[in-house]
Amino acid sequence: MSELTVFILAAGLGTRMRSRRPKVLHHILGRPMLVPVVDLALACQPNRVILVLGHGRQQVEAELAQRYPDLAFQVALQEEQRGTGHAVQCALATHDRLSDGNSGEILVLSGDVPNLTLPTVQRMVDHTRVQKSPLGLLTTTLADPTGYGRVLRDDSQRILAVVEEKDASVTQKAIREINGGIYLFDAEFLREGIAGLEAANAAGELYLTDLVARAHQVDRPAVATAAPEPEEVLGINDRADLARAEAFARKRHNASWMQQGVTMTDPERTYLDASVRLAPDVLLGPGVALLGETEVESEVEIECGSVVKDCTIGRGARILAYSHLEGATIGPLAQVGPFARLRPGTRLGSRVRIGNFVEVKNSTIAEDSKANHLTYLGDARIGRAVNVGAGTITCNYDGRQKHPTTIEDEVFIGSDTQFVAPVTVGQGAIIAAGTTVTNPVPAGSLAISRVPQQNLEGYAHRRPEKG
Ligand code: UD1
Ligand code: CA
């Protein structure tokens, strides 16, 4: 079989995004839109992937280097963005420097078309090969084709040309068959045609799409393959396109998780980053966002409005409504929320309960312990079966440094206790409500620090009248 090379065009400025970030770094499902395009290119198993970069090149390269440490692709630099035809000229120059042959095929992908799938590309590749055309296009028909290149056909329905929106006549603008910007080229045809491109158009750019007309001129017309779903070839040019592409990606992504046994009360309002992993029988309420490297084991329920980033949630745990969790590990059958906040470094053992308005940071809480109400636990090591009363606070910061609080197994902490860290409480001790703990508490003892209560009898009546 002939050699396949993939070019990814990603040098454009993305003016219509009105952003300081390069367009291809804007996120879809929590990762730059260029990432699924690179993944798709690699999934085609080509001999080589050449990525055309220009605008914001350093930023793009830095992001990709993190995700593809083994540098799965070569970069072709397009210093000045003079159009898609020029971008391909740059890619071809790099390609020719790296390989000797003229033969083979070149698949051109666009960095701003992130929802394209491998089966669709395969269909286009197969169809183009069967038709023995030097140029295959991915097309679709849109109710509103505004902004896209329109596919012009001759009287025999052969593809005549692609005309860009800016250059189209009123009649041409009415055509709803559009060019998806994804192509399979015979390398020789591409090489012969690309040098002759001219910027004789409204944009003053070198249009790759002019090669479609050339194919017709040399009597080897381009062939179109229709994408099964128009959204697959949705190009992102502005923020509205980005939102549409995100919505489509989310719909498809959530459908795939539901197929794998995840229940979603309202899939349109369930937000899962591409990197999240879920087990079967996870239940997600409306408005739940699972982000980053989050992993959720089976039979976990996450109630509405909760945001969970970079967390591991053990089997059967429940996250009640409106909780915010980041960088936490939650043990099996634990219960968190409603309105709880877990910050990085939180590790909860099995069956731990964290209730409303409780904040935990960089703390380990062992199995069967509870902190059910209005509490701050920071830099703490808490043993098992500890009861943390309402309003308990670790005073972990002295204005300069953080200090640890250690609470051993089966300690009972009364409400409104402060632990002035560093401090340690021994196994089974009891802290009386309202105590400020400043010294170590030995195992099995009661710690109490209170000002003795005074009652001034009849005081209320003796108080002078107001005003
Ligand atoms: C292009 C097509 C249009 C098609 C549409 C599909 C051309 C002339 N037009 O239009 O027919 O309907 O895609 O989405 O090709 N790029 C570079 N260097 C440049 C210019 C662009 O690398 O100098 C890259 C961009 O980063 C982008 C891709 O090429 O990823 C497409 O460029 P864009 O300017 O978005 O083209 P469209 O106007 O959308
Ligand atoms: Ca585009």
SS (H, E, C) the chain: CCCEEEEEECCCCCHHHCCCCCHHHCEECCEECHHHHHHHHHHCCCCEEEEEEECEHHHHHHHHHHHCCCCCCEEEECCCCCCHHHHHHHHHHHHHHHCCCCCCEEEEEECCCCCCCHHHHHHHHHHHHHCCCCEEEEEEECCCCCCCCEEEECCCCCEEEEECHHHCCHHHHCCCEEEEEEEEEEHHHHHHHHCCCCCCCCCCCCCCCHHHHHHHHCCCCCEEEECCCHHHHCCCCCHHHHHHHHHHHHHHHHHHHHHCCCEECCHHHCEECCCCEECCCCEECCCCEEECCCEECCCCEECCCCEEECCEECCCCEECCCCEEECCEECCCCEECCCCEECCCCEECCCCEEEEEEEEECCEECCCCEEEEEEEEECEEECCCCEECCCCEEECECCCCECCEEECCCCEECCCCEEECCEEECCCCEECCCCEECCCECCCCEECCCCCCCCCCCHHHHCCCCC
Q: Is the Cβ atom of 10 under 6 angstroms away from ligand 1? A: yes
How far apart are the C-alpha atoms of 456 and 18, rounded to whole Å? 69
Asked if 167 and 300 sit in the same domain, the reply is no
Summarised one tens digit per residue, pLDDT across range 420-465 is 999 999 999 999 999 999 999 999 999 999 999 999 999 999 988 7
Asked if 190 and 265 sit in the same domain, the reply is no
Residue of 70 and 222 predicted with greater confidence: 222
Cβ neighbours of 45 (radius 10 Å)? 8
Q: Is 453 part of a structural domain of the chain?
A: no
Q: Which atom of ligand 1 is nearest to the CA of 112?
A: 30
Buried/exposed 196-207: b ≥16 CB within 10 Å, e otherwise: ebeeebeeebbb
In this structure, which residue's CA is closest to atom 35 in ligand 1?
A: 237
Q: Is the Cβ atom of 137 under 6 angstroms away from ligand 1? A: no
Q: Is 246 part of a structural domain of the chain?
A: no
Ligand of minimum distance to the alpha carbon of 114:
1
In this structure, which residue's CA is closest to atom 8 in ligand 1?
A: 207
How far apart are the C-alpha atoms of 180 and 225, rounded to whole Å? 10
Q: What does the block give as tokens for 343?
A: 């910050």
Q: Is the Cβ atom of 183 under 6 angstroms away from ligand 1? A: no
Bridge partners (DSSP) of residue 382 are 365, 407
| Contact present, 396 and 403 (Cβ < 8 Å) | yes
In this structure, which residue's CA is closest to atom 16 in ligand 1?
A: 12
Bridge partners (DSSP) of residue 308 are 290, 325
| Contact present, 415 and 390 (Cβ < 8 Å) | yes
For residues 230-255, give the mean pLDDT. Answer: 97
Site to probe by mutation for ligand 1, drawn from 19, 33, 84 as the one with most ligand atoms within 8 Å of Cβ, is: 84
Give me the CATH number covering residue 270: 2.160.10.10
Nearest to 112 by CA among 193, 198, 52: 52
| Contact present, 52 and 9 (Cβ < 8 Å) | yes
Residue of 423 and 101 predicted with greater confidence: 423
Task: Report the pLDDT value the prediction gives residue 125, as an integer from 0 to 100.
Answer: 98
Q: Which atom of ligand 1 is nearest to the CA of 80?
A: 23
Asked if 226 and 284 sit in the same domain, the reply is no
Q: Is the Cβ atom of 5 under 6 angstroms away from ligand 1? A: no
Quick check: 165 pLDDT over 90?
yes
Q: Which atom of ligand 1 is nearest to the CA of 11?
A: 22
For residues 111-134, give the mean pLDDT. Answer: 98
Asked if 180 and 265 sit in the same domain, the reply is no
Q: Cα-flanking dihedrals φ and ψ of residue 143, to 5°?
A: -60, -40
Instruction: Domain of residue 290: give its range.
Output: 256-447
Quick check: 284 pLDDT over 90?
yes
Q: Is the Cβ atom of 212 under 6 angstroms away from ligand 1? A: no
Give me the CATH number covering residue 199: 3.90.550.10
Quick check: 70 pLDDT over 90?
no
Catalytic residues: 373
CA 239 to chain centroid, in Å, comes to: 16
Q: Is 12 part of a structural domain of the chain?
A: yes
For residues 109-124, give the mean pLDDT. Answer: 98
Q: Is the Cβ atom of 179 under 6 angstroms away from ligand 1? A: yes
Instruction: Give distance in angstroms: CA of 307 to centre of ligand 2.
Output: 32
In this structure, which residue's CA is closest to atom 13 in ligand 1?
A: 181
Site to probe by mutation for ligand 1, drawn from 19, 110, 208, 209 as the one with most ligand atoms within 8 Å of Cβ, is: 110
Peptide bond into 145 cis (omega under 30): no
Q: Is the Cβ atom of 162 under 6 angstroms away from ligand 1? A: yes
Instruction: Give distance in angstroms: CA of 35 to centre of ligand 1.
Output: 17
Q: Which atom of ligand 1 is nearest to the CA of 162?
A: 11
Asked if 342 and 205 sit in the same domain, the reply is no
Asked if 395 and 286 sit in the same domain, the reply is yes
Q: Is 248 part of a structural domain of the chain?
A: no
Q: Is the Cβ atom of 208 under 6 angstroms away from ligand 1? A: yes
Q: Is the Cβ atom of 181 under 6 angstroms away from ligand 1? A: yes
Ligand of minimum distance to the alpha carbon of 60:
1
pLDDT, mean over the chain: 96
Quick check: 71 pLDDT over 80?
no
Task: Report the pLDDT value the prediction gives residue 361, as an integer from 0 to 100.
Answer: 98
Quick check: 1 pLDDT over 60?
no
Task: Report the pLDDT value the prediction gives residue 98, as an integer from 0 to 100.
Answer: 87
In this structure, which residue's CA is closest to atom 36 in ligand 1?
A: 84
How far apart are the C-alpha atoms of 277 and 283, rounded to whole Å? 13
How far apart are the C-alpha atoms of 350 and 295, rounded to whole Å? 16
Q: Is 461 part of a structural domain of the chain?
A: no
In this structure, which residue's CA is closest to atom 29 in ligand 1?
A: 9
For residues 341-360, give the mean pLDDT. Answer: 98
Residue type present at position 31: R
In this structure, which residue's CA is closest to atom 34 in ligand 1?
A: 12
In this structure, which residue's CA is closest to atom 5 in ligand 1?
A: 181
Cβ neighbours of 84 (radius 10 Å)? 24
Write the CB contacts of 314 (distance below 8 Å, at least 6 apart in sequence). 297, 300, 329, 330, 331, 332, 333, 334, 350
What predicted TM-score, i.e. pTM, was given to this entire model?
0.94
Task: Report the pLDDT value the prediction gives residue 102, as an integer from 0 to 100.
Answer: 64
Number of separate domains in the chain? 2
Asked if 287 and 387 sit in the same domain, the reply is yes
Asked if 138 and 34 sit in the same domain, the reply is yes
| Contact present, 372 and 358 (Cβ < 8 Å) | yes
Asked if 262 and 228 sit in the same domain, the reply is no
Task: Report the pLDDT value the prediction gives residue 101, as an integer from 0 to 100.
Answer: 65
Instruction: Give distance in angstroms: CA of 180 to centre of ligand 1.
Output: 10
Asked if 217 and 306 sit in the same domain, the reply is no
Q: Is the Cβ atom of 84 under 6 angstroms away from ligand 1? A: yes
Asked if 309 and 383 sit in the same domain, the reply is yes
For residues 307-313, give the mean pLDDT. Answer: 99
Ligand of minimum distance to the alpha carbon of 233:
1
Instruction: Give distance in angstroms: CA of 235 to centre of ligand 2.
Output: 5
Q: Is 247 part of a structural domain of the chain?
A: no
Task: Report the pLDDT value the prediction gives residue 99, as an integer from 0 to 100.
Answer: 82
For residues 303-326, give the mean pLDDT. Answer: 99
| Contact present, 50 and 91 (Cβ < 8 Å) | yes
Summarised one tens digit per residue, pLDDT across range 320-345 is 999 999 999 999 999 999 999 999 99
Rg of the chain, C-alpha, whole Å: 31
Is the CA virtual torsion 25, 312, 255, 6 positive or negative?
positive
Q: Is the Cβ atom of 150 under 6 angstroms away from ligand 1? A: no
Asked if 283 and 221 sit in the same domain, the reply is no
Percent of the chain exceeding pLDDT 90 equals 95
Write the CB contacts of 121 (distance below 8 Å, at least 6 apart in sequence). 40, 44, 107, 109, 138, 182
For residues 197-223, give the mean pLDDT. Answer: 97
How far apart are the C-alpha atoms of 40 and 114, rounded to whole Å? 9
Q: Is the Cβ atom of 164 under 6 angstroms away from ligand 1? A: yes
